[in-house]
Every structure is written in structure tokens, then in C-alpha cells.
Amino acid sequence: MFKMDHLINYIKKLRQKMKMDWDRHVSIQDLLSDRWETAKFYGFGKGTSCYNNSLIQGDVKVGKNTWIGPNTVLDGKGSITIGDFCAISTGVQIYSHSSVKWSTSLGKLPLEYSPVKIGNGVFIGPNSIIQMGVTIGDRAIIGAMSFVNKNVPENGKWYGVSKKS
């Protein structure tokens, strides 16, 4: 017979182990799941880890040894490709589709789709947003809380917001 006390005690032990091993606290779902197993389930590359509380939808391909942080959104409805040795920080949102025209036309216009491509060795800082159709070159750095709506070249640095005409 299931007893709630057993579950609570098990979660407490997992929290203590996480604190001792990694000096961190994570959500219960991330205590109960393995980041590398989650990445493997989605077919991501060897050595890649992905927090269980990430939203992953559509066509998302991720290379090897990439870290996908907690509370991320990978909206691959129009396709997302992420290379090897990337860091997709906490709260990053990557979109490959848009409902702006559909919504503002009261449903007369279709949703828009355009793939996102992120090269190898890319760092995307916390809480950044990558818009559909963007390509980010190898070894580029995207600063925290950036809004990326234009392509970023290889070794490029992007910090903040830029208005696309």
C-alpha cells in the first residue's frame, strides 16, 4: 500500500543528495529524473543534458555535450538545430514559429514558420529570447536577457535588444 510519508521521505533524501553532490536545489520533477536520460529520450547528442522542466516541442535537434538549462522553451514547430558544446542557459526561449500575423488578422493569415540554427560552442545567456529564422554562428556569445532577431556571425557577440526593420 502506498504511503505518503514514504514519498516525502524519499524526496527529502533526494534533496539531501542533490545538495551534497551538486550544492543546489532543483524542482521535484528534476530530482526524480536524470538530465542526461531526458536528453537521450529526445534523441539529443551524446553527453547532452536537458532539465526535465524544459518545454520541448516539434523538430528539435541538439548535438553532443550541450547543456540545456532549466525553464527553457525550445519551440521547434519550424525546426531548431543546436550544435555541439553549447550552453543554453536558464530561462532561454527559442522560437521557430510566430502567431502574430494569425492573431492580428483574426485568423485570416496562417502561422509563420522559419528554422533556427545555432552553431557549435555557442553560449546563450539566461532569459534570452531567440526569434524564428535566426542563425547564430559558431562560438558566438549571447548576453543575458538579450532579444535576438537578427543573425549573429561566427565569434559574434550580441547583448541587449535590436530593432529589426
Catalytic residues: 97
Residue with cell 543534458: 49
Most confident of 31-45, 92-106, 151-165: 92-106
Nearest to 150 by CA among 126, 133, 127: 133
Whether residue 137 sits in one domain with residue 95: yes
Distance between CA atoms of residues 79 and 19, nearest Å: 36
CB 70 within 8 A of CB 93: no
Tens digits of residue pLDDT in 22-33: 898 888 888 888
Q: Dump pLDDT digits (tens) for 107-147.
A: 999 999 999 999 999 999 999 999 999 999 999 999 999 99
Pair (84, 124) in one structural domain? yes
Instruction: Write out the residue range of the structural domain in which residue 59 sits.
Output: 35-158
- How many separate domains does the chain show? 2
Same domain, 22 and 80: no
Residue 58 and residue 1 share a domain: no
Distance CA 127, CA 29 (A): 21
